[in-house]
């Protein structure tokens, strides 16, 4: 790391600064080593830190590497939107002929669609399509349901459908509770959650519940203490895991969801999820705003 280069800290899934989920975005990172990227990610101590590199394929607008404090991820939601927003803000990327930005990452090529005008960033939202997702089902339902209820601190009756592991980059165990108030009231046993995450190879828990006054509004909380982050403020891949989970049970061709997240830890994020093509395609949309600009 020689001459000074730029970075930004972007708040994602909120138009109000410091109410979403921050990601640190480091530009011109081609000459950084893996260990230097990991060192920076540990220092920022955010949920994720990203590094922008030159793409290796003509289809891509840029290449992105995504790190937590512990290691690299193939894909993550809020870093994807935050990094794209930062590059748009700097004028470093332009949409392709289809009006899309294309992110190259370890999960493949991720299409990002701008919703709104690129000249009005205050009201711009960005939408990505999950590059992939896979389901894994409980092996020992009786035992694992008891373990899940215990780690969340709820009775079995509060869990209204069978939890499913959704791998969409991170590996989220998706748990649907009876309503949004049950989600807000969760007091998880984080030590036990770490133990089970290691036992079953979970990245964390996506716990969600429907607002009883609405068919499309939900409360979402993502817990990932195994990554040294007890609760994520606003999680794009977590929202995507909920979309994939609900899409598997979709009776109509498409649906739209509005997820609130972060209120239990002093944030106020909004994540919009669209499930299309009979549950096959899952899109996550949200706003972003830059909070910090600096050099490294």
The residues carrying an active-site annotation are 48
Determine how many CB atoms are found less than 10 A away from the CB of residue 103. 29
Query: Residues, the chain, total?
Result: 296
What's the rounded Cα separation, in Å, for the pair 55 and 60? 6
Q: Which two tokens stand for residue 117?
A: 């005008």
Cα 33 to Cα 42: distance, rounded to the nearest angstrom: 14
**Residue 264 is encoded by which pair of tokens?**
């239990």
**Token digits of residue 30:** 């081609």
What 3 state SS string does the chain have?
Answer: CCCCCEEEEEEECCCCCCCCEEEEEECCCCCCCHHHHHHHHHHHCCCCEEEEECCCCCCCCEEEEEECCCCEECCCHHHHHHHHHHHHHHCCCCCCCCCCEEEEECCEEEEEEEECCCCCHHHCEEEEECCCCEEEECCCHHHHHHHHHHHHCCCHHHECCCCEEEECCCEEEEEEECCHHHHHCCCCCHHHHHHHHHHHCCCEEEEEEECCCCCCEEEEEEEEHHHCEEEECCCHHHHHHHHHHHHCCCCCCCEEEEEEECHHHCCCEEEEEEEEHHHCEEEEEEEEEEEEEEEC
């Amino acid at each position: 790391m020689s001459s000074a280069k730029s970075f930004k800290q972007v708040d994602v899934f909120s138009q109000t600064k410091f109410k979403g989920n921050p990601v640190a975005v480091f530009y011109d990172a081609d000459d950084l080593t893996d260990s230097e990227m990991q060192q920076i990610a540990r220092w920022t101590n955010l949920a994720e830190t990203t590094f922008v590199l030159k793409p290796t394929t003509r289809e891509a607008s840029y290449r992105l590497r995504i790190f937590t404090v512990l290691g690299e991820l193939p894909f993550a939601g809020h870093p994807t939107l935050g990094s794209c927003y930062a590059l748009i803000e700097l004028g470093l990327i332009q949409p392709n002929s289809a009006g899309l930005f294309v992110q190259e990452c370890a999960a493949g090529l991720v299409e990002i669609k701008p919703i709104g005008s690129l000249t009005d960033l205050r009201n711009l939202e960005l939408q990505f399509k999950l590059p992939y997702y896979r389901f894994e089902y409980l092996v020992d339902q009786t035992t694992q349901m008891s373990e899940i209820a215990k780690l969340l601190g709820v009775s079995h009756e509060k869990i209204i459908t069978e939890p499913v592991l959704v791998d969409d980059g991170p590996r989220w165990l998706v748990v649907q509770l009876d309503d949004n108030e049950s989600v807000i009231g969760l007091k998880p046993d984080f030590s036990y959650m770490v133990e089970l995450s290691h036992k079953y190879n979970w990245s964390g828990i996506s716990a969600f519940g429907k607002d009883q006054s609405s068919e499309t509004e939900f409360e979402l909380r993502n817990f990932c203490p195994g990554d040294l982050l007890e609760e994520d403020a606003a999680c794009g891949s977590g929202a995507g895991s909920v979309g994939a989970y609900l899409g598997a049970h979709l009776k109509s061709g498409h649906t739209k969801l509005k997820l609130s997240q972060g209120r239990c830890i002093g944030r106020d994020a909004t994540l919009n999820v669209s499930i299309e093509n009979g549950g096959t395609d899952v899109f996550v949309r949200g706003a972003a705003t830059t909070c910090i600009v600096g050099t490294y």
